[in-house]
Structures are given as structure tokens and as C-alpha cells.
């Protein structure tokens, strides 16, 4: 019964909330962990969970040295799960609505400097189909600021070469156009001409970026090959595909783009989410000043 309700919730996230597969899987893992706790406590029904149970569960996570960010994420997943069950009249209250989420330290997003970006983009081997694909993917991520989940969802028809943009499906199934820029367009065109025909096994395949089996590439594969290129580029620290998104936003703001424009490109629902990048640029400018000015 407990697993059945969770399965229905995950199906709801996919079908109605249009959540990414990564989000769905993470919610599933976090809620199943709570189900394990319920089984240990002899709780057979979600409606039997009280605020005391919720607080006890979060306290156990703290004792097991979970990071505050992980605990906050698990709490958010369970809160959303109970909101869904309230709507479906499976439960009468949300015990996690009354639990305070751990306060998080504000972490500024990591970004790359232009020379680091250049080194990363030049790491793939352009003489191979995989190298052409990987370079096109990284050029696209940096040029557009799109999420890796949005990138793997692109189809060949998503790219408008005439206007230099791509149509992406963002969170909540919201579509938006993002810029690509000359370098990304050239890399994508090169990939389409010389690499995709080699990788494609099925003529009806619509996906833009393909894996070695000829199907749509997965976001985990993008993270994996990015790790490999970072390892080859000695001056780079460990980064994720999301760092290219952070880098896009930071470089745009440093070059004078206004916050609303960057918000639109990133697909942020609230401008407060975008404002974190203004802190990055301020800190960067301050560090440049401190290094350059003789009386800093």
C-alpha cells in the first residue's frame, strides 16, 4: 500500500507536473527512505504519521551526519508528497508542513573563467563522431545556459539556424527560446553533417544528440564525459554540466546584460533565483580590483 501510493505520486510528477526524470528518481529515493523509517517504527499508513514522527525522522538523519542540504531536500520531497495525498484525500494533514527545514548556508554557484571555458571546449577530439558531438553539446550548454535535462530533450527540429536560437522545454513543460551564438551553431552544424549520420541507427530518430547506440543521449552520459574532459584539463577543478549554466549567466551579467534578460534565458520563474549571479559578479569584480589596484 505504501509503495502503491508512492508509485501513483511519481506517475503524477511525470504526467501532470512534467518533472524531469532526474527529479522523479530523486523524489522516489527520498520518499522510499522515509517508508523504510515507517516500517521500522511499525507505521502502516501515511495518515498515521504525526509531526512528532516527522521531527524524529529528520533528527535521525542529522545523527547519521546527513548534510543540511540533503535533509532539506528530503523534507521538501515529503512535504510535496503529502500535499499530493491531501489533494487526493488519502490523508487529512501534512505533518511535514509544520516541520522547520534546516537553514542552509548560501552557496555561490561555481563558474569558469574564459580561458578555462576555452580549454574545456577544445578538449574533445574533432576527428571522431563522439568528439564532434561532445564539443557541440558543451558549446550549446555554454552558449545558451540551458539545463542539461533541457539539452538532452532537444530534437533536430528544435534548432533554428536562421535565427540562431533553440526551442527548449523547461520545467513545468514551459517552452522558451534560448540563444545559441555563432560558435555553438557551427559546432552543431558540424556535428549534424559529420557525426550524427554515423551515430544514427534509425532514420526516424528525432533526438538531436545521440548516444553510441543511436538513441537519445542521457543526462548521466553528459555528466560522465564532462568529468573525463575535466580530468584531461589539468587547470580545472571538478565541475558539473550545471557549472556551464552558471558560467553563461555570470559572463552575461559581467558583460552588461540586464537581470531580466538573463532570467528569461535561464527560464527562472522568479528573478530572486537569478539574483544569486549578481553576488558572483560582485565578488569577482572585487577580487579583480583587489589584485589590480595598487592601493586596494
pLDDT digits (tens, 9 = 90+) for 221-232: 998 888 888 877
CA atoms within a 13 Å half-sphere pointing along the CA-CB vector of 286: 6
- For the chain, domains (ranges, CATH) are 2-98 (1.10.150.130), 114-292 (1.10.443.10)
DSSP assignment of 206-224: -BSSB-TTSSBPPHHHHHH
More confident call, 170 vs 202? 202
- Catalytically annotated residue among 147, 196, 246, 251: 147
Q: What is the pLDDT of residues 23-57, one digit of tens each?
A: 899 999 999 999 999 999 999 999 999 999 999 99
Which position among 171, 194, 216, 223 bears the catalytic label? 171
Catalytic residue among 82, 84, 191, 277: 277
Q: How far apart are CA 182 and CA 139, in angstroms?
A: 10
Residue 218 appears among annotated catalytic residues = no
Q: Which helix (H) or strand (E) holds 159?
A: strand 159-160
Mean of the per-residue pLDDT values of the chain:
87
Identify whether the C-beta of residue 188 lies closer than 8 Å to the C-beta of residue 157: no
Q: What are 5's three cell numbers?
A: 501510493
> Nine-digit cell at 49?
504519521
216 φ/ψ angles, rounded to the nearest 5 degrees? -65, 130
Q: Is 12 a catalytic residue?
A: no
Of these residues, 196, 245, 246, 251, which one is catalytic? 245
CB atoms within 10 A of CB 176: 16
Active site residue 268: yes
pLDDT value for 116 = 86
Q: Which of 17, 216, 218, 242 is catalytic?
A: 242
When pLDDT is cut at 50, 70 and 90, the band that residue 292 belongs to is low
Q: What is the pLDDT of residue 134?
A: 97
CB count in 10 Å sphere of residue 193? 10
What separation in angstroms does the CA of 240 have from each of 47, 100, 111, 171, 247? Answer: 39, 30, 10, 19, 11
- Has 277 been annotated as catalytic? yes
8 vs 120: CA distance, rounded Å: 42
Window from 72-86, 97-111, 133-147 with minimum mean pLDDT: 97-111
For 72-93, the pLDDT digits (tens) are 899 999 999 999 999 999 999 9
Q: Classify 33 as helix, strand or coil.
A: helix
Does residue 242 have an active-site annotation? yes
Amino acid at each position: 500500500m505504501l509503495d502503491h501510493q508512492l508509485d501513483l505520486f511519481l506517475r503524477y510528477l511525470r504526467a501532470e507536473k512534467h518533472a524531469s526524470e532526474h527529479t522523479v528518481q530523486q523524489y522516489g529515493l527520498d520518499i522510499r527512505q522515509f517508508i523504510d523509517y515507517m516500517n521500522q517504527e511499525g507505521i502502516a499508513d501515511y495518515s498515521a504519521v504525526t509531526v512528532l514522527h516527522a521531527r524524529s525522522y529528520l533528527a535521525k538523519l542529522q545523527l547519521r551526519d546527513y548534510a543540511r542540504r540533503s535533509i532539506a531536500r528530503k523534507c521538501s520531497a515529503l512535504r510535496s508528497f503529502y500535499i499530493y495525498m491531501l489533494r487526493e484525500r488519502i490523508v487529512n494533514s501534512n505533518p511535514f508542513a509544520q516541520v522547520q527545514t534546516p537553514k542552509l548556508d548560501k552557496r555561490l554557484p561555481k563558474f569558469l573563467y574564459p580561458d578555462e571555458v576555452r580549454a574545456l571546449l577544445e578538449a574533445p577530439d574533432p576527428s571522431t563522431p563522439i568528439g564532434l558531438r561532445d564539443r557541440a553539446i558543451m558549446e550549446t550548454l555554454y552558449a545558451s545556459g540551458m539545463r542539461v535535462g533541457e539539452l538532452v530533450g532537444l530534437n533536430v527540429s528544435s534548432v533554428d539556424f536562421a535565427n540562431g536560437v533553440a526551442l527548449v522545454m523547461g520545467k513545468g513543460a514551459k517552452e522558451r527560446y534560448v540563444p545559441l551564438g555563432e560558435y555553438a551553431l557551427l559546432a552543431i552544424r558540424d556535428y549534424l553533417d559529420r557525426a550524427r549520420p554515423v551515430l544514427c541507427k534509425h532514420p526516424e530518430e528525432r533526438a538531436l544528440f545521440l548516444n553510441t547506440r543511436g538513441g537519445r543521449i542521457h543526462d548521466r552520459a553528459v555528466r560522465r564525459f564532462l568529468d573525463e574532459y575535466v580530468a584531461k584539463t589539468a587547470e580545472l577543478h571538478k565541475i558539473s554540466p550545471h557549472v556551464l549554466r552558471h558560467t553563461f549567466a555570470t559572463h552575461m551579467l559581467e558583460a552588461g546584460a540586464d537581470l531580466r534578460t538573463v532570467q528569461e534565458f535561464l527560464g527562472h520563474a522568479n528573478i530572486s533565483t537569478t539574483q544569486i549571479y549578481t553576488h558572483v559578479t560582485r565578488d569577482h569584480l572585487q577580487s579583480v580590483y583587489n589584485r589590480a589596484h595598487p592601493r586596494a
